[in-house]
Structure 1
Amino acid sequence: MLRFDLSTSRPTQAIDITHLFASREWPDGLLLASVEHTTAAIFLGESGSEMFADYERVAAGLVEQYGPWQHETWNPGNAQSHVLSSFIGTQLLLPISGGGLDVGTWQRVIFLELDGPRQRSIAVASLGARPLR
């Protein structure tokens, strides 16, 4: 198992981390990427500063209307980050072919910080493929 570490610099921040996966030669099959935190998420999406601004704006306001949060009676400030993370997801299964990511032209691996700035880790496991019959 590998671990990728990254630093975020804002409370809500979208980061294209595709390069972490593209910089290695992988065995054909699947990669499981798992964010090791309950206030961050990972997904496939389009990259670019405009998209990142949209991801961040939606994430910052998506569940705001549902407060006040029960969780905040003992840990103020990040309940909506936990809720968003659970809905967006903390794991991503990526197809690998020919040693690299086999995703669509515009698909990028996006890490979404929901309670930053923080140091974050992503665990990555390779799941080898067997020929389909």
Structure 2
Amino acid sequence: MPIINKFIELETNQGINIHNITPQIDAMISSTPIQNGQVLVFSRHTTTALAINEYEERLLTDIKVFLEKIAPESDHYLHNDLHLRKNIPPDEPMNAHSHLMAMILNNSEIIPIVNGKLALGTYQSVLFFELDGPRKRTVFCQISGE
């Protein structure tokens, strides 16, 4: 069974932003001989996440509001006491809230491939969550099957 590794590169915006990466994953699968199998999509960062959900503008706003309620940026977090931490870079952000948001989401998704296409439902998309932007981000995709 062949295994093909690929990457999606993203430049994200300030704060929480949600990107539909389904088209990039579709293009990757189309560029391979894989017709039936699966794709593992993995976020390589501790302040990002992945989810399968509907990519609809009003829902995206609801999701952002929900995440901000769960871990408000304005709360006090020990991780943000930068002066008490060792060996941190000079540009270290105060981003504990972003780490906490990422913990309640997923850092990977496995999606079946059937007849060379993602087997997603009608309203499903693969969503990448930036929780601490702006940044350059990388999503690892491993396509396997026959």
TM-score by shorter chain over 0.5: yes
**Cα drift, residue 8 of structure 1:** 1.0
Identical columns (%) = 27
Task: Identify unmatched segments of 5+ residues in structure 2.
Answer: 83-91
**Cα drift, residue 76 of structure 1:** 5.2
One-letter amino acid of the structure 2 residue matched with residue 61 of structure 1: K
1:52 aligns with 2:60: yes
Cα distance change of structure 1 residues 19 and 65 upon mapping to structure 2, 3 Å threshold: closer
1:20 aligns with 2:24: yes
1:33 aligns with 2:41: yes
Correspondences of 1:1-133 after superposition (within 5 Å): 1-23=5-27, 24-25=29-30, 26=32, 27=34, 28-64=36-72, 67-74=75-82, 77-128=94-145
Structure 1 length normalisation: TM-score? 0.88
- Structure 1, 31-40 or 51-60: larger mean CA deviation: 51-60
- Structure 1, 88-97 or 54-63: larger mean CA deviation: 54-63
| Runs of 4+, deviation exceeding 4 Å | none
CA contact under 8 A between 1:59 and 1:114: conserved in structure 2?
A: no
Q: Deviations over 1:62-84 (max 9, x none)?
A: 12299421211125520111111
The CA RMSD measured in Å over matched residues stands at: 1.9
| Aligned length in residues | 129
SS of the residue corresponding to residue 102 of structure 2 reads helix
**Cα drift, residue 21 of structure 1:** 1.2
One-letter amino acid of the structure 1 residue matched with residue 20 of structure 2: D
Structure 1 CA distance, aligned partners of 2:117 and 2:139? 18
One-letter amino acid of the structure 1 residue matched with residue 24 of structure 2: L
Structure 2 CA distance, aligned partners of 1:47 and 1:119? 22
CA contact under 8 A between 2:42 and 2:108: conserved in structure 1?
A: yes
Structure 2 CA distance, aligned partners of 1:20 and 1:65? 31
**Cα drift, residue 59 of structure 1:** 1.6
**Cα drift, residue 103 of structure 1:** 1.0
Q: Which entry has the higher C-alpha Rg, 1 or 2?
A: 2
